[in-house]
Structures are given as C-alpha cells and as structure tokens.
Amino acid sequence: MSLLPRPATLPSNAQLSALLDSVDELLLLLDARLRVSYRNQAAQRLLGCEPGQPLDAVLARVDDGSARALKQALTAGQAPAALNLVLTDGPARSQCLPLTLSRSAGSGWVLRAPASPPPPAMPPLAPGATSELVKLLWDSPQPLTVQDTEFVVVAANRAFFEACGRPPDQVLGRDPIADSPVEDRDDVLQARQGWQAALAAGHQPERQVERRLIDAQGRERWFRFVPRWVSADDGRPLLLSLLQDVTREHQARHEAARSGHELDQWFDLSPIGMLVYDSAGLVVRSNAAFEALVGRAPVLLAEAPADLCQLLAWEGEHPHPDLRPDALPLEVLASVGLPGGRRQRLRARLRAFASEQGAQRVMAVVEDRSLEDEHDLAQLEIGALMDTASVGVATYEASRGWLQSRQARSPTGGGGGGPPADGSAPQGLAAGLQSIGREQVEPGSRDEFERLQRALREGQRAQVRYAVKVPDLGVRWLLTRVEPGELTGGRAALSVVTLDVTEQEEAHRRSEQLLRELSTILDGTSAGIAYLRGERLVRCNRRFEAMLGLPTGRAAGALLGDVLAGQPAALALLRVALGEGGTEAADAPPAPPALAGAEATPGGRAAPREGRHEIELSQPGPDGTLVWYALSASRAPMGGQPELVVVLTDVSRLKAQQAELEALARERELMFTLSDVGLAYLRHSTIERANNALAALTGYAVGELQGMHLAALFEDEAAYSALWQQQQQQLAQTGRWSGERRLRRRDGRSIWVQVSKRRVDEADADSGLICSYVDVDERRRARESVQLQAERTRAILDSVLVGIVTVGDGGIEWMNRSARRMFGGELADFVGEPIAIVATAEPDHPLRATHYRQSLSDGQAETFECRLRGRDGREFWVVGNAVVTGRGDTGAMGGAGGHSGSQITFALLDIERRRQAEVNIAQAQASLQRIIDTAPLAIALFDTASGKVLRLNHMAAMFFGRPVAAVLGRPPEEWFGPDDAAMLREDLQSAMTQTDVLRREMPRPLRISPDDGAVEHRVWDVRIVSLQSRGEAPAAGEAQLLLVASDVTEQRAAEQARFDAAVSQREMLVKEVHHRIKNNLQGVAGLLQQTAARRPEVAALISEAVGQVQAIAQVHGLQVGVTGPLRIQPLVEAITASVQRTFGRPITVSVEGTPPHRFALPEAESIPIALTINELLTNAIKHSAPGAIRCVLHCDEARLAISVHSPGQLKAGFSLAQVPPGVSGLGLVRALLPRRTATLTLTQVGVEVEAKVVLVPPSITLLEPL
C-alpha cells in the first residue's frame, strides 16, 4: 500500500506534459476565449503555435477554407462529423490532416489530428506472386513474417528468427501475440479487428503499426511495419509484414523524452530564477524561483516595471540588439523593487536562441547578487563557528596530500592518514586536542580509534566517537567523520572533520539518566499520561490505566474507541484534536464546550485545532462514589500521522473545592455586606462601592458614599493631597499601603481610623483599590497610655535583679541595669552589637543560636544555661530564657521609637553562687552518704511508682531482715512477707499522699543466733517522708520516698514504765482531790443547813443551794471510788437518793432501752448534768401534786434521754421560752445545758407533767461494750 496521500499519487503537470509530448497526434486545447491554453510538441511543430496565442495565430499555416470551416464549427458550438485541415506552410506543407473536434471540461475545446496523413491505398498483389515475393525477401536483412487469417505465423525469414532469438520450431505455427507484453495485447487485438475489416472490405490496412515483442532473452524489441493482405498460391489470404527494427529509435526517443522531461523538471525545480520570452515580449515560461526573486512574473514585458525590463534587457517593444542567436550571452545588473518596498540587486544572464519553427526566443537566468555577499559572510561565520565549536577540518587529495582548512591540521593527529606536513595546528580545536596519539586514547575507546585509523588508511567512510585524555584538558570526547569523495577526473579525495563533543556526550548521558528518571516519575506521578498515534494508544503509565479501569500493562495498542467506550464526549474531543472528528463522529453526542472552537473543513471533517483540548469527565470509583477527571490533549507537531499527548488528572477534590469556592464567594459577599469593618472599592480616588459598616463609621448613607470623592473624608484638601502622594508611591512599589489617619465624619467630627489599601491587580494601576477602615480612636488613646506604661515598665525592669536584654534584627536594642552590671558596660557600649559578644568561645553557645525566631512562637520560651564573659573579663554562669516578643508590634522594651519585626528578649540570672552551692551540695551529699552508711539508723530510699528500693544501708538491711543485695532494686513483695509487704506498700502510698511525715512503730523480729534460730522482737520507730516539695507536681520517674527507722525497744520499755508509774500516781492524786472536794462540799452543805436553821426567812433558798451542793458532792463522791469515765446510771441513782433524803418523798428510778453501762459523761459535762437532774427532781417535788414521782433513764444507740414524771397540770399557754434565766429552777437548767448537744422539753402527758432532757454526743460518751 502506498504511504503517500491521494494527491501525491497523481501525475504532476510536468509529467502530463511529457506524456502528451510523446504522443504522435497533434493535440491542442482552446479556452472559452479561443486562446491556446496548451499545445503538445506535435502541434507546435506543425502549426507553430504557443500558449496564450489567439485562434488566428493558430490557423496561420492552414488554408482559408479549412480555417473558415473550423471557425464556423467553433462558433456554432457543434462538433462536425469530419473536418480536414490543409496545411499551407511548415514541415507538413500541402498535407491534409483529419481533425477531430470535442468539448473539454468547462467551455473549452480539444483539437486532435494525426501528425502525418494516412498512407495511400496500395493495389493488391496478383495471385501466385506471394511465394515469389517471400523467396525474394527471404535473405533480406529486414525481418519478414507471413500469417494466416488466424494470425498464426506460417512463414518467417532468417532475419526474424535472429531478431526474436528463437528457432523456427518456437515461431512457426504460433500466434506472435504470446510474445507481446500483456499491456499491449488489447491494442493488438483491436488492430487485428481493423485488419480483418479491411480484408472483408477488399482493401489494405491504411496505417503503419509499431509493436513490441519480447525476445528469447526477455528484452523488448520494437518493430515498425505496414501489414499487407496477400494471396497464397492456393488463393488463401495471408498477412505479409515486413518489419523494421526501430528499437534504437524508440530508445533514443525515450531518452530524448526523458531528457526533455528532466529539463522541464530542472526548469521548475531549479533554485535559480529562469524566464523565457519571445520576440514580441510574451513571457513563454518562468519558474517559481524567478517569482520568488522579483514577485509575480508578468504576461507581457511591455506591461512589466521598468527595472524588471532593464534586468531582462527589454527595450521598448523589442529585445536588446545584442541578443542574437549567434552572439555571446548578455549579462545585466539591476536593482529591482520587491512587493514589500524593499529593493534587491540582481544579475541576469540572457541568451537568444531560435525555436524549431525559427522564431527567436530569449532565456534569462536571474541570480541574487546578495548570495555572493552572503557567501563571503558565511565564510567568516563558518570560520568563527569552527573556532567557537572546536571543529577541525582537513581534506586529503592524492595529488596534493592533506589540504588545510583555516590552517588546520589533520584532526586525528597521529592517524594513519598522517598530519599536515607543515605542522600547523587547527584553530577550531583546543591546543591539547590538536595532535592525538594512541597512548592518549582511553582504553574503552581504542577499538573505535583503530577503526578510525583503518578508515583513514583505506579511504572508507566512517564516523567514530572516542575519548582521549589530555593533561591540560582532562578526558575529552571527540567525534571524527571520514567522508571519501571523488573529484573531477576520477581523483580520490578524503575529508576529515573532528568535533569536540564532550559537552554533547555528557548531555547525552545526562539525557539518558533524565529519561530513566522521567520514566520513573511518569510511573510514580498521580496523573494519568498517554500517547496516541492516530486512534491507537501507543503507550501510557499505570495511573492512566487505573483511572480508566484498563487492565494493567495491556492498554498499549488499544483503539481509542475501546479505551473511552463509556465517554462519548471525551472520544469526540480527541477525534477533533486528531483531525478525525468529521463524518465518523456524526453519531456521537453533541460535542462538549471545549469543542466549540473547532473549525470545519468544506468536506465536513473537523480541522485539527492547534493548542490544548480540555474536557472533564466522570465515572464511578471503586467505592461507588463519582470520580471526576480532567482530560487535556495536546497536539504533537504536524508531520505524518497525527499524534496526541493526553493527560488525565483526578479533579474530584478540585470539583469539591470549586463548590466550596462558590460558597466562599457568597460568604465573601455576605462578609462585605455584614462586616463590622468599613470596606470600600475605590477607582481614581472615587468611592464606587461601600458597605454598611463604612456608612456607620462616616455617618453617611451607603448611597451617598457611592460616587463621593475620597477628599471629602479628609480634614482638608491639603491633608488629602499630602497623604495621597505617599500612598501612591508605596502602592507603586509594593501594591499595598496601611496606616492610620484622621477621618472626617458627616457631622464634622474627626476620628482616628486604621486604613489598609491594596490594588486589585498589582500590575495594573487603574484596576482600583480595596480599602478597609477600622475605628482605632479608642485604641490610639490606649496606645498613648501604653507608651507611658512602657516607660514605667522600664523603670521597674531596671530595679529587678534579673538581667533583661532585648535583641532585634539589628542587634541589642535595650538592657536593664542588672544586665549592664553583668556585662560590665553601659547600654551605649552594646547597642547594635549581637548578643553573642558576651558569649564564651563554645561554638554551640546558646547566645550564638539563630533558631529562636523560627522555632518559637510569641510568648513561648526556651531555657538554657551557659557561661558569659563580661567586658571586664569576668566569666560567670547564668541561667536564662529566650522569649520571642513583639512580632510585628512595638514592644515596651524596644527602642525609643519602637521597632518593627520580631524581638528576642533574654532574661539572664547570675547563678555563679548557685553553681558553687551545687558543688558544695555535691560534696555534702558525698559526706552525707558516708554518714548514712555509718549511722545507727536504718535508711532506705524507695521509688514511688514501682516501690523498688533505690538505696539502703546495712541497718536498713537488718531492719528488713534481708541482705543488702536481696533488697536493692526490688519491690517489697520480693523480699518481705505478704502481710509485711502489703503494710509497707500501704504506708508508702499514704506517705506520698500526705504532706506530713508518716510515723509508725513497727515490731520486727531479730534473729539472735543463726544456729539455734532464736528470735527477739524489737520495736522500730519508722518514719516515711516524700522527698517531693510541698505543692510540686510529681515528675515522671522522679518521685521518691525516704524511710528512716531507729531501734526504740529499750526506749519504749523505759517510757512504758515511766508512764505506768505516772498513771498510778495521777489516779491516786485524783481520788484524793475528789475525796477532799466531796468532804468540803458536805461541810459547806452542813454550814448552809445551820444557817437555814438560824434564818428561817431564807431557809427555802438555802435549801435549794444545799441540794445543788450535795449534787456536786455526789459527782465527786462517785469519782472517788471508780476508775475511768463517770457512768450515767450510778450518777442518776445517787442524785435521786440525795433528793429523796432531802425532801422525804419517794422517787422511783427505771431504765429502758439498751444497757446503760455504755453511757458515760465527760468530765466537763458531769457537774452541769448532775445539777440539771437535781433541779428537775427538786422542781417536780415542789410543784407536783401528791403522788409518785418517777425518773426514767431511756438509752438507745445514739442518744440518752432522762425524763422526770410528776403528777400535776401545766398552766395554759406555758412555754419554756417564757421562763427567765435564774440561779435555780428551770432558769438554771436552761443555763447549764449545752445548747447544741442537749435539749429540754416540758410537756403535759395525761395527768402527769414530763420534764425530759435528751443528750447526744459529745455531751455523752459511748463506751465499748463489756
């Protein structure tokens, strides 16, 4: 199959002209105006006409009758059946040519006529003359054949057998059509039909015939003959053919036609402008090169510009007189104007010649003179290029040896061809590459170098790339090309070109590496990439296959329709991009918007679009969700089959982001409208849009602000002009401006606002400004207060003992008095200096670090500890913090005018004394450890989290009853019994949770003798304390507990003995005191009774006092005979008996509830309770009716109730709240009873009055059951 497009398979105009020129018939084409549009060689020879001539010039050699008949036929528009042309001039004078007239395409005419008239009819031969004629011609040098009516050869002479190279048995009895070429057999058969028709009509064939035969060697032989019907001896018709061998004539004619065709091709394809015109100035022919030099060729030189006529030697109405066929060529130099207005200097060489008809014509060869200048310039440029590109060129010619190009040597140095004899060096190559020997060639390139030497010796074509090592230049790569040639006269020549291709070789290797990396990147990229040639997928990466669900590794070679079977829109887009989206895509769905720009050709096929084709497509993903892809196709450069690069990108996130952006756009509009910050859009100092916040800020309505000039919001025009100039300068530099200014409201009041302006498009000054206005009037007043506070803060910082240093972008900006004292200088000595000026020589000193601004945020601190060296040479240790402050703000500790950017504030504390103290502490700890090891105390250090023993001494090992190795590093469960371990673990936890020292006495067995197993129990005073400071959060892995135990067995025994003796002595003394108090009280009671007897008027009062004294005496009397707390039941019974004796009225005592022996009275409450019981019994006896009086003691689990029941009736409306305080009766009872732990009630229960006292702890004490 041909790979050329359809138009390339059709013959060109030159080929058609050559074909028609080889035809023997006269062929003439006339256009609608009856002018010659084409004539072949036969028409030009017989009629002498040329293209462009009218019909009268064509009929100049035809007689008047024939010309008139032809004109009438052309005018009538009908082709006559027969028309003869009688020639009156030319090579065919007096001949009559049969003319055939027919319509051509359009409205033209085609005229055809044989180039020679038909031969006249010859008389037939007489019967019986055939044999004689054959005998006569048998020995003729011309081939002769005799055929019957079936065209079978019945006789042939020797010349025919020799011509066809076959013996008689292969010729006679056969039809010679078998030896004709297949393509000629139809013509042979058609001619035979004409011959048989002539035989039947009784006359001879009228035309001579030329036929080809294939001889025995397969060669074509051309024969010309005129067939004649003759009669055999028996009267049968035979066809006699006397053949003339015209093979050489045909070969010559073919060569001539080929030469003419080649000349036509050369004329059309020649890069030199060529033109032919006749004596009348008619331009007969011109080529494209001529039109490229001078523009469109004119039809007549009379109509051409004067400069072109001068170039073509045309003077007025005739050529230059020196243009004669027998004269030398004429050379003309002229400057010709070109269509673009530029003038070009040309040279024309003209020669006159005579055509076959004798007419004079002129051929002009036009050359561009600028080529010679360009040639010289090119020589200079080539020389410079050779020098620049390091190229060496040398040519070898046998007669002259090596020929130098620009004084260059042979590029191969010591090669077999040999260097130039004069030893000159090539200027293009570097000095180190001018002579290369085998020893300089790298081992890996020596085979190639040997091949170069062999090619130089044998004069063969070769191209070799090899590496050489030059001392001054290192390893260099050279490319040497050997090109053999042949000069005129058969002389051999050899050209050698050497090029330093080190950079290209390195670039080639880098390109290979880049190709491998690119392949790896393509396989690893998240985008699917494919390469299409036509509608076939050439290659793609794995991501492309995964996106479209194609089998892995099998997509290459698939058709586009199969790859995008489910995406008709994308398929149509790619076909349009390929230029194949015409009728084939007629059934496809409508093209997406990306196809709207595609143009259509008249044939209905979509023209390929240059640039990028894009579309979005979607398909279900693996999880069923819809996945969006963006398909982008780029057309490769045109040439051959169309090719595309297709990129498939997952834009699902982009689609989601697009939806979010739309929502953001709506939110932005809402933010502009509802924002509390004043926003405005300005163009040319005029407000075009403003929001409600700006209207509220300025006092104007939104509609009033629109169209308002910005100067209306300034204090005056001068303030606006001054600030506007500053803003324009900064906007031109950075595209932004921010600052504070005064804004004039509608009511005339001025407020401070913070203004930020930004260009909509930084590259376009006319794009407008986006402005924001924030009310900072209050903040500005606050700033002034802050500045005042900053000064006060400095004064405070100057008074602290911590050194404060503020470091900005330009170095130290400020330091307080403590820092100046540390550094040994004043502030002026350090301003602008880096803080590392006081650092010691350590390279990783914290003050030399530069990571603070990047790693710390505002307010975040980094602690360090280092040594410093002051200006006075003193070195000391400090602990410090580095804090990033004032990022973008003016800090309180900045310079006088504040600062912009970030600051680092260093707080430094001199810890030289602390470091010395730490050394002392370490020494003290070592001493303490020695003391611990030798102290008579058990000391152990526990880890709080795990309970493991971190440290212990030998006394602690004796306390635990285990060796030191068995206890150290282990928890209590591993070296204590379960109960002891649990108790110790509980004590450790309790000590950790409380702040005080946990103190416990713990008995521990001590083995006296390891032989008999005797054990002695010892008492240890154990104290456990947490080493963590009070209020300090426990640090991971650092909380520890200290256990200190001392053997207090003898001490506790001595203390117990002393305690027992003291208790016995105290009890004896207490009993003696109670006994004496009882006796004293009884003596007082006796004295009172005596006084009552002497003073009857106060006997009642004294009697009450006696009862009270006796009640107190009963309490002391009871405490004399018992040990421990005073129980309630004996006290009640004793007081009841005393009252009964005093008043002589019986009182019964009963007990209810739980056993009363568990209830006792505290020492402080015993006397008040006894007096209360005495007063209630006395009151009941005094105020009750005759009857029994009962005292009930009711006990339960949580309280004690004592009730006194006496017959009687309370007054109506009686209330204890109405009883006034006193020294007797209910007033005394209310005064004696505790308010919160005792209650008194007096109620009427039937015919009795109940007085009840309820006691709860701590007025009573609950004892353990007996």
pLDDT tens-digit series, residues 173-187 = 888 888 888 888 888
Q: Which of 225-239, 501-515, 1226-1240 has the lowest mean pLDDT?
A: 1226-1240
Per-residue three-class SS string for 361-389: EEEEEEEECHHHHHHHHHHHHHHHHHHHH
Burial of 776 from C-beta contacts in 10 A (0-12 / 13-18 / 19+): middle
Which pLDDT score is estimated for 128?
46
H or E segment and range at residue 551: none
Look at phi and psi of residue 1031 and say left if phi exceeds 0, alpha if psi is from -120 to 50, else beta.
left
Which pLDDT score is estimated for 61?
86
The partner residues of 644 in beta bridges, in order of sequence, read 532, 635
Q: Which of 105-109, 1119-1123, 1215-1219 has the lowest mean pLDDT?
A: 1119-1123
What is the reported pTM?
0.26
Q: Quick one: tokens of 1110?
A: 């006796």
What does the chain come to in residues? 1266
Distance (Å, whole) CA 972 – CA 1088: 73
The half-sphere exposure of 214 on its side-chain side, counting CA atoms within 13 A, is 11
Q: Which of 146-150, 331-335, 501-505 has the lowest mean pLDDT?
A: 501-505
Sheet of strand 391-397: strand arrangement: 401-404, 391-397, 492-500, 474-486, 462-470
pLDDT surpassing 60 at residue 710: yes
pLDDT surpassing 80 at residue 899: no
- Stretch 9-21: mean pLDDT: 66
- 697-716 per-residue burial string, b: 16 or more CB within 10 A, e: under 16: bbebeeeebeebebbebbee
Which pLDDT score is estimated for 134?
65
Place of tokens 């005339």: 748
The DSSP letter of residue 398 is T
Which pLDDT score is estimated for 1036?
47
1258 preceded by a cis bond (ω within 30 of 0): yes
Which pLDDT score is estimated for 809?
84
Higher pLDDT, 789 or 615: 615
- Stretch 60-70: mean pLDDT: 87
pLDDT surpassing 50 at residue 3: no
Domains plus CATH for the chain?
9-113 (3.30.450.20), 129-252 (3.30.450.20), 270-368 (3.30.450.20), 380-508 (3.30.450), 525-595+606-657 (3.30.450.20), 675-775 (3.30.450.20), 798-910 (3.30.450.20), 935-1029+1040-1047 (3.30.450.20), 1125-1262 (3.30.565.10)
| Range ranked top by mean pLDDT from 23-37, 650-664, 812-826 | 812-826
1147-1153/1189-1195 β-pairing: parallel
Distances (CA, A) of 717 to 712, 721, 724, 746, 933: 8, 6, 10, 16, 92
Q: Which of 141-145, 311-315, 865-869, 1029-1033 has the lowest mean pLDDT?
A: 1029-1033
Q: Which of 41-50, 308-317, 960-969, 1024-1033 has the lowest mean pLDDT?
A: 1024-1033
Within 407-501, residue ranges assigned H as helices are: 446-458
pLDDT surpassing 80 at residue 434: no
pLDDT surpassing 60 at residue 895: no
Read off the pLDDT of residues 527-584 as tens digits, 9 standing for 90 and up: 888 888 888 888 888 888 888 888 887 788 888 888 888 888 888 888 888 875 443 3
- Stretch 684-697: mean pLDDT: 87
Q: Which of 281-295, 604-618, 1232-1246 has the lowest mean pLDDT?
A: 604-618
Q: How confident is the model at residue 258 (pLDDT cuts 50, 70, 90)?
A: confident
- Stretch 143-171: mean pLDDT: 87
- Stretch 913-931: mean pLDDT: 81
Within 350-474, residue ranges assigned H as helices are: 370-389, 446-458
Distance (Å, whole) CA 481 – CA 495: 8
Which pLDDT score is estimated for 233?
76
Q: Quick one: tokens of 444?
A: 């890996």
Sequence-distant (≥ 6) Cβ neighbours of residue 744 within 8 angstroms: 712, 713, 714, 715, 750
The half-sphere exposure of 1206 on its side-chain side, counting CA atoms within 13 A, is 21
What is the percent of the chain with per-residue pLDDT over 70, rounded to a whole number?
83
pLDDT surpassing 50 at residue 411: no
**Contacts of the segment 863-869: beta carbons below 8 A, 24+ positions apart:** 865/911, 866/839, 866/840, 866/842, 867/840, 867/842, 868/822, 868/823, 868/838, 868/839, 868/840, 868/908, 869/838, 869/839, 869/840
Q: How confident is the model at residue 1116 (pLDDT cuts 50, 70, 90)?
A: low
DSSP 63-105: -HHHHHHHHHHHHHT---S-EEEEB-SSTTTT-EEEEEEEE-S
Q: Which of 398-412, 859-873, 952-966 has the lowest mean pLDDT?
A: 398-412
Average pLDDT, the chain: 79
The partner residues of 109 in beta bridges, in order of sequence, read 30, 103
- Stretch 656-662: mean pLDDT: 82
Q: How confident is the model at residue 526 (pLDDT cuts 50, 70, 90)?
A: confident
Sheet of strand 26-30: strand arrangement: 36-39, 26-30, 109-113, 96-103, 83-86
Read off the pLDDT of residues 263-275 as tens digits, 9 standing for 90 and up: 777 777 788 888 8
The beta-strand segments (E) located in 270-342 are 273-278, 283-286, 314-315, 318-319, 330-337
Which pLDDT score is estimated for 1205?
92
CA angle at 1064 for the pair 1058 and 1067, rounded to the nearest 5°: 135
Closest CA to 765 of 708, 681, 680, 684: 684
Which pLDDT score is estimated for 1157?
80
Which pLDDT score is estimated for 105?
66
- Stretch 116-134: mean pLDDT: 52
Within 502-608, residue ranges assigned H as helices are: 502-524, 542-548, 560-563, 568-578
Higher pLDDT, 1235 or 417: 1235
Distances (CA, A) of 851 to 628, 847, 855, 879, 900: 44, 11, 6, 18, 19
Evaluate whether 66 touches 88 at the Cβ level (below 8 Å). no
What is the percent of the chain with per-residue pLDDT over 90, rounded to a whole number?
2
Q: How confident is the model at residue 1191 (pLDDT cuts 50, 70, 90)?
A: very high
- Stretch 769-783: mean pLDDT: 85
